[in-house]
Amino acid sequence: MTSIIRPRLFITFQMSSQFIRSLKRVFDLDYQDIPACLSHEQILSRIRANPPNAILFPATAKIDKEVISAAGDKLKMLAAFSVGYNHIDLKECKKRGIPIGYTPGVLTDTTADSAITLLLATSRRIAEAMRTVRNGEWGTSSDMMWMCGKPLINSTIGIVGLGRIGLAIARRLQPFSIQRILYSGTREKYFDSDNDKK
pLDDT tens-digit map of 84-140:
899 999 999 999 999 999 999 899 999 999 999 999 999 999 999 999 999 998 888
Say yes or no to pLDDT of 4 above 80: no
Pick the CATH number of 108-183 from 3.40.50.720, 3.20.20.70, 3.40.120.10, 3.90.1170.50: 3.40.50.720
Q: Which residues pair with 11 in a beta bridge?
A: 31, 56
User: How buried is residue 58: exposed, middle or buried, by Cβ count under 10 Å (0-12/13-18/19+)?
Assistant: middle
Rg of the chain in Å (alpha carbons): 24
pLDDT value of residue 195 = 45
- The pLDDT-based confidence of 144 (bands split at 50, 70, 90) is confident
Contact 52, 10 (CB under 8 A): yes
Rounded to 5 degrees, what are φ and ψ at 13? -145, 165
Task: Specify the CATH number of the domain 8-101.
Answer: 3.40.50.720
- The pLDDT-based confidence of 192 (bands split at 50, 70, 90) is low
Say yes or no to pLDDT of 193 above 60: no
Query: Does this model's pTM top 0.85?
Result: no
The whole-angstrom separation of Cα 116 and Cα 103 is: 23
pLDDT value of residue 100 = 98
Domain with CATH 3.40.50.720 in the chain: 8-101, 108-183
